[in-house]
Amino acid sequence: MEKQSHTPGPWYAGIDIRANAIKAHEVRSQDGMLIAIVTGRYEGEGNASLLATAPDLLALLKRALPILQHAINRDPVGVWSDAAIKLEHDALAAIAKAEGRA
């Protein structure tokens, strides 16, 4: 599957809109492009905030992964090796999912 692109961050959440008495939160890009409308009686605002942080979290994970891989390569049988290898696996899976490859 080809790598999926996304609207560059930062994204922002928390703009309340109301339609037919349903409260919703918009997630928009820095230039105002609508990314998502999130509804939910109790968790809508939290879900919108989580969505808005997605580009930042993906970028952070991509920057942290080489540091983790370097640490694994330097200490392949150390105390942290099993946890670090599991973390690397999970990070790679999360990146693939975010890029539409999983």
pTM as predicted:
0.79
pLDDT tens-place string over residues 35-49: 998 887 778 888 999
Cα separation, 102 vs 93, in Å, equals 7
Give me 30's structure tokens. Answer: 């820095």
pLDDT tens-place string over residues 54-78: 999 999 999 999 998 888 887 766 6
